[in-house]
A = this chain, B = another copy of it.
Amino acid sequence: MPDRRTIAVIGAGYWGPNLARNFKANPDWELAAICDLDRERAQRVADAVGGAAVVTSLDEVLADAAIDAVAIATPARTHHDVVCAALAAGKHVVVEKPLADSRELGERMVRAAAERGLVLMTDHTYCYTPAVMRIRQLIEEGELGDILFVDSVRINLGLIQPDVDVFWDLAPHDLSVLDFILPGGLRPKSVSAQGADPLGAGKACIGYLSLPFGNGSIAHVHVNWLSPTKIRQMVIGGTKRTLVWDDLNPQQRLSIYDRGVDIDRQSAATAERRAATVSYRLGDTWSPALPEHEALAAMASEFAAAISEGRPARTDGHAGMRVLSVLDAAAISLRAAGAAVPVDAGHASPSNRSPLEVVA
């Protein structure tokens, strides 16, 4: 199997075991090692996945010429140093979201990967779920028409994180999905963030993001650590149809409503706005069957494919940067009482998006 590559997982905390299990089971990969400062923790992960070398030194892993790539699941504040060291050692890298804890450091990582011709991938796991892949496909094929609005809610009783607020903890999920499914990627004009810390935890535990786009459409994200009811729902309104993704309803995760409001744009364009003709469509609802696969398995395959084909991964460093740019602008807006903060227009989505079939 000449294409089989060797990988080490760095970090055996919360997410590392999932990465280890999936790279172990993936035919494209050989899991060589689990690396963590805490040997016992690394050993437990190695045992649970049926065996792998255990290493406590990052340098040792990076010095091992037999290792082609690393999957990094360490805290966000360490991403820059660990990723840059791995790239310097010639390793391809996939790194847990968010790409980095600041925009500047993220930029350096992307540049470092580009200079060395290595794959730098962000583990935007949700983008590899059957539901999100189907949403992207439906939008690409024009089933929804032009996107008018996206409203995303991700609320639950959640652990108050010691080092990040609720925006940095939860919103990367929503933002990475937006980046993946919107035709132009996540490129809002500006970001307004509203946060609240009613318990005095020292950081926002409730957050709202408004992301207006140039064409009049808007995305909005609600993240909340303090809600006893769990909601994970995204409504995507289009000119032709509207889609609701309810991630907690396994029996009907996606619903596509063939209904909406039509406005007679000719009359709307005149001075007589009051006379604008509005009409309603009340059509059928449709819920596509989804294949069942684990998202991380598809992510691992995509990482291998990107390396083999010498192309950017579907959720590459630029995707990570578009998410990071919004988080960065949100942090500034938060300090400015919610004022609209422009988002830098760098990191254009690649003109030749890799086709969906690759990971389907």
Contact = CB atoms under 8 A, between A and B. Distances in A.
A278 B196 CA distance: 17
A200 B216 contact: yes
Interface-centre pick from A215, A227, A259 (highest chain B CB count, 10 A)? A227
A252 interface: yes
The interface size bin for chain A is 35 or more
Contact of A252 (B218, B226, B265, B285): B285
11 contacts: A47-B50, A148-B206, A148-B226, A149-B196, A192-B338, A199-B239, A200-B263, A200-B268, A205-B261, A229-B242, A286-B287
A260 interface: yes
Given A242-B228, A261-B226, A149 B198 contact: yes
A280 interface: yes
A216 B197 contact: yes
A280 B227 CA distance: 12
Interface string A228-267: 1110000101010010100000011001011111010100
Interface stretch (A74-82, A95-103, A158-166, A306-314): A158-166
B227 A235 contact: yes
Contacts of A202: 268, 273, 276
A221 to B, nearest CB: 11
Interface in A173-213: 190, 192, 194, 196-203, 205-206, 208, 210, 212
A342 B337 CA distance: 11
Interface of A: 47-48, 50, 148-149, 151, 155, 157, 159-160, 162-163, 190, 192, 194, 196-203, 205-206, 208, 210, 212, 215-218, 220, 222, 224-230, 235, 237, 239, 242, 244, 251-252, 255, 257-261, 263, 265, 268-269, 273-276, 278, 280, 282-289, 337-340
A141 to B, nearest CB: 15
A47 B48 CA distance: 10
A235 B242 contact: no
Contacts of A235: 155, 227, 229
A230 B48 CA distance: 33
Count of chain copies: 4
Contacts of A148: 196, 198-199, 206, 226
A237 to B, nearest CB: 5
Contacts of A259: 157, 228, 289
A149 B227 CA distance: 9
Contact of A220 (B50, B208, B265, B276): B208
Contacts of A239: 199
> Which 9 pairs between the two chains have the least Cβ-Cβ distance?
A196-B218, A202-B273, A228-B257, A148-B198, A285-B287, A162-B274, A194-B210, A337-B340, A198-B217
Contacts of A205: 261
A263 B201 contact: yes
Contacts of A220: 194, 208, 222
A51 to B, nearest CB: 10
A201 B275 CA distance: 10
A283 B255 CA distance: 14
Given A216-B198, A286-B284, A286-B285, A260 B228 contact: yes
B261 A199 contact: yes
A192 B282 CA distance: 33
